[in-house]
Amino acid sequence: MCGRYVSSSTPDEIARYFDADEQPERPLEPSWNVAPTDDVYVVLERDQVRVVAEHHWGLVPFWAKSPAIGTKMINARADGLATKGAFKDSFARKRCIVPADGFYEWDQIPGQKVKQPYLITRRSGEPLAFAGLWASWRPPGDQGDERLRSTTIITTEANDLMRRVHDRMPVILPASAWDEWLDPGNDDVESLGRLLVPAPADLLTMRPVSTEVNNVRNQGPHLIDPVEAPPVQGSLLDAGGTEG
């Protein structure tokens, strides 16, 4: 799954990296502890133009009675997108990329209630391109122009690196797949589904970071500083320690 991540790049940096022509007028504050229900950046295609936009994290389908449903829709399993009512419309017509500078996953510390967070980033230091879906919602009966635009991050089975701490991970799209994924005119869900696979393990690196990350109220670049790894329940130590 993906329940917390880092978004410290500016809209201009995101636009340059993803070759987008438009970006928000008022940027979001950088966050080293992005949490569900936060406003986040997405990259999508609108009128044949690639843009950086701001969406609510937690998908709210167009048919929802209340935006509260979004708290249960922060992630979407890749294997159910074409059939699940909450996601199938967006999978066919409203796909996006959720840019991230890294994401967190946790492992249990033996004998303690607290869990040890790990930061996963690209080895090259470049941004990650999470496969995402988006939706547009307005309250039932409201005919106004104001809409809530929201997003969810697609997950798949874990690769060898991620399997040390969790059995799932976000889908990370290579640059070669961006055009196909973002094209709203492409409704070939079978072909699109073939893109939703685990990223190569050697693309990523993992390191333990401060347990301050465990509290969503904590912020700051110090959250991604490496710390000494404690003994863990999983197989990190058996596999020779953390990467990087």
Cα–Cα dist 130/218, whole Å: 23
- Which CATH number belongs to the domain containing residue 117 in this structure? 3.90.1680.10
Residue 96 lies in a domain: yes
Quickly state the pLDDT bin for 237 (edges 50, 70, 90).
very low
DSSP 211: G
Residue 16 lies in a domain: yes
Residue 230 lies in a domain: no
Per residue in 160-214, pLDDT tens?
999 999 999 999 999 999 999 999 999 999 999 999 999 999 999 999 999 999 9
Quickly state the pLDDT bin for 244 (edges 50, 70, 90).
very low
What residues pair up with 34 in beta bridges, in sequence order?
A: 5
Residues marked active site are found at 2, 105
User: Average of pLDDT values for 127-132?
Assistant: 98
Residue 237 lies in a domain: no
Quickly state the pLDDT bin for 111 (edges 50, 70, 90).
confident
Structural domain span for residue 210:
5-224
pTM to 2 decimals? 0.93
Residue 137 lies in a domain: yes
Geometric angle at alpha carbon 157, from 242 and 72, rounded to 5°: 105
Residue 244 lies in a domain: no
HSE (side-chain half, CA atoms, 13 Å) at 207? 14
On the question of pLDDT at 234 being above 70, the answer is no
Cα–Cα dist 64/143, whole Å: 15
